[in-house]
Structure formats: structure tokens, C-alpha cells
Amino acid sequence: MKTFQASEAIQRLPDQYFAKLEKSILALKDKGHDVINLAQGSPDQPTPKHIIESLQEAAEEPRYHKYSPFQGFRFLKEAAADYYKHHYNVDLDPDEEVCVLFGGKGGLVEVSECMLDQGDVALVPDPGYPDYWSGVALANAQMEMMPLRAEHQFLPRYDEISKEAKEKAKLLFINYPNNPTGAIANRAFFEETVDFANNYDICVVHDFAYGALSFDGKRHESFLEVPGAKETGIEIYTLSKTYNMAGWRVGFAVGNRSIIRMLNNIQDHMYVSLFGAVQKAAADALTGPQDNVDELIAMYQNRRDVLMKKAHEIGWEGEAPKGSFFAWFPCPNGMTSDAFASKLLEEAHVAVAPGRGFGEYGEGYVRLGLVNDEKTIEEALDRIAKLNVFQ
């Protein structure tokens, strides 16, 4: 069979770090082992019933069987604007400041293709979501990594970025509540970010995937709540986590009009928008009852508390996440994240995500997901305790 050469853009894409871990998990399962997977980041709960019913009803409507409008139905953009007004008191123009996305991931890759040329710089958190890297690679641009350290509450320090990188940067990615660390940001940090971006003419992209998932009764702020933020950049929101709609692939970008136009333009060339029935259900999710979201937050907080209590009992000291559905734990006794994750998988049949897969500054940590029930989390920690690695 003839093998064709991939384009330079495809060859620049980073390797999928976690593909090897997935293969190892499947190999153990194929041998009959019971593997508890704490490495995954996909919600384990079903989509709320009223959203499913909305999809079912909408699927019966013939108008949704035709091509959707290129830039999405206006009712979904209005629903996104209404959601931001109700939850964050942010005013958005549905026609100019909202872009319908095929999930948040797509927008996070597309924005680099819209904004960056060869030699341009994107400021990227380390550790951070690896798909930020993918868009930068496709654009043939460069990344300047911003270390996220525990002593700085896993917030980047803009004063540590070199003068050259600041002046060449066109994009800045931030993400709070944070994947993988579970950290959150406050108003002061967002204000600092707006000032920094304005000083260097940088577009901010705030990945707000876990915006609804903050604990201990605290509400996480939207970046766009800060004066000047909407002029400075965009926020990308997904329904995947808030409404357990990961497989539905629906989200939206909101904010700066010029960036929204760019995103709409690139998607005009790639897609003919989402299936209309999915858009209708997404709109109903955003504007309908939010009781399920409150219940979801309570569930994840309870799982977090069970995890932290059990971890403390076995001598594994880590900080409780303040948001998202991830916990960020240090590796014991100077072990590398790969070595520790391999030991847990091979000897305890517990899968965790090695921190190195999220960047250089993820080394020395592993990420645990809260997407298993409390009993399964306790069982995983009991298995880990038997390895006596925290002595």
C-alpha cells in the first residue's frame, strides 16, 4: 500500500501523550484485570432528562433536517447571551459577540489558526490543556510557556515572561477553574490580565470549560465580568461539563467582536453548523431549570471530600481542588510522574494521568478525576495504600 506524505502542518502536531496510557489500560482490561480509571476527564453522569427530551422533540421537526444556518440558529446565540446576563451580568450581542462552536475544544484550536502566523508567539500555561498546543502548531507559531506553581496558587506570573516574548505575543491562554490543577482565579488576577493584555496588544482566550464547577459555595467569576475584558479577548464555554453533554459537541465563544468574526469565518469554510435539534436542546439547557447543575456541583464536591479524606488517611498529602472535577496530587519520594503512574497502573490497577503530559511544570504530579462514584474512589485509594509508597 502506497504511503502518502503528511503536510508540514500535520507533522507539526504534538504526539498524543495519553494515547500510550490508554493502550496500557486497555491491555490490562483485556487480560481480565479490573482497572479503576481516575485518569479520564469525561463526565460519568447522564445528560439531564429535560435536555434529552428537548432533543427528541426537536428531532421530529423537519426544519432541523435541513442545513442549519452557517453561524448557528439565532435562538442558541440568544440563549448564550441570556445565560451570561443571568449568571454573570455580562451583556452580549447575540449577532456580533457569540459564536457557536463544535465543542469548546474546536474553538481553542481554531482561535490560533485565526490569530497566529509563522513566528508569532502564544503564551500558554504549563501545566495546561494540551489542545492549546495543537492550534499553535497548526499555525506554525511558537509557544512561550507560563509556569503554574503551587506557591503562586497555580496562576501565571506575567512579570516572569521575557520582554521579547511579551512584545511578540498575540495570544494568551488562561483556564480557570483549571485543568489539571483544580485551581481558581480571582477578580484581581483577571484585572491584572486585562491590564497586561492591553499593554502588549495581546488577545486573551479564557477557557471556561469548568466555569460552573466551583466548590464550597463560591461562584467562579467569568473573565468577561472584568471591565475591559470583552474588548481584550474572548471566553470559550462548553456545555460538556455543566450539563453532562460531552458527546453532544456543543459550546460557544463570547467576547471581542473581531475574534468572533474570525471564528465564524473559519467555521463557515469548515462546517455548516450543528444539527439544529442539538442547538435547540442546547438552548433549552442554558435557559431551562438549573437544579441539575446544583446537584452536579454537590456530587463533585462530595466526591472531592471523600478523595481528600481517604488520601489523608493513607498519607498522601495534596490540596483540595477549588474547582473543576480534577485533583492535582504530588508524586511521593521524588518519583517522576510517569514512573508513579506506571506503578499505580501495573501494581494497583489504578490509572491516573501523569502530570508530565500537561507540560514540563506538571512533572512531579498526577491528575485524578472525580468522575467515579465515592465507593470507586475509596477502592482506588485502598489499592494505592497497599503499595506503601507514602512511608
Is 90 exceeded by the pLDDT of residue 187? yes
Do 225 and 322 share a domain, yes or no? no
For residues 361 and 127, the answer to whether their CB atoms sit within 8 Å is yes
Do 136 and 194 share a domain, yes or no? yes
Domain annotation covers residue 264: yes
- For residue range 223-260, what is the model confidence (pLDDT) as tens digits? 999 999 999 999 999 999 999 999 999 999 999 999 99
Q: What is the CATH number of the domain that holds 32?
A: 3.90.1150.10
Do 94 and 199 share a domain, yes or no? yes
Instruction: Look at residues 252, 271, 287 and tell me which one is the last residue of a structural domain.
Output: 287
* Order of strands across the sheet that contains 203-207: 98-101, 251-255, 233-238, 203-207, 169-174, 121-126, 142-147
- For residue range 2-55, what is the model confidence (pLDDT) as tens digits? 899 999 899 998 887 777 788 888 888 888 888 899 998 889 999 999 999 999
Candidate ranges 24-33, 212-221, 292-301; pick with highest mean pLDDT = 292-301
Is 80 exceeded by the pLDDT of residue 391? no
pLDDT of residue 27: 85
Do 73 and 42 share a domain, yes or no? no
Domain annotation covers residue 349: yes
Range of the domain at 343: 8-46+292-385
Do 156 and 187 share a domain, yes or no? yes
Instruction: Look at residues 256, 287, 318 and tell me which one is the last residue of a structural domain.
Output: 287
Do 115 and 245 share a domain, yes or no? yes
Do 209 and 350 share a domain, yes or no? no
- For residue range 265-293, what is the model confidence (pLDDT) as tens digits? 999 999 988 999 999 999 999 999 999 99
The identity of residue 349, as a single letter, is H
Do 75 and 200 share a domain, yes or no? yes
pLDDT of residue 217: 87
Domain annotation covers residue 55: no
Do 37 and 86 share a domain, yes or no? no
pLDDT of residue 113: 95
Q: What is the CATH number of the domain that holds 96?
A: 3.40.640.10
Is 80 exceeded by the pLDDT of residue 119? yes
Percent residues over pLDDT 90 in the chain: 87
Structural domain total, the chain:
2
DSSP secondary structure letters along 284-341: HHHHS--HHHHHHHHHHHHHHHHHHHHHHHTT---PPPSBTTEEEEEPGGG--HHHHH
- For residue range 154-173, what is the model confidence (pLDDT) as tens digits? 999 999 999 999 999 999 99
pTM of the model: 0.95
Instruction: Look at residues 261, 287, 313 and tell me which one is the last residue of a structural domain.
Output: 287
pLDDT of residue 30: 83
For residues 319 and 367, the answer to whether their CB atoms sit within 8 Å is no
Mean pLDDT of the chain: 94
pLDDT of residue 22: 83
Q: How far apart are CA 8 and CA 181, in angstroms?
A: 33
Do 259 and 298 share a domain, yes or no? no
From the CA atom positions of the chain, what is the Rg in Å? Answer: 21
Domain annotation covers residue 314: yes
Do 242 and 152 share a domain, yes or no? yes
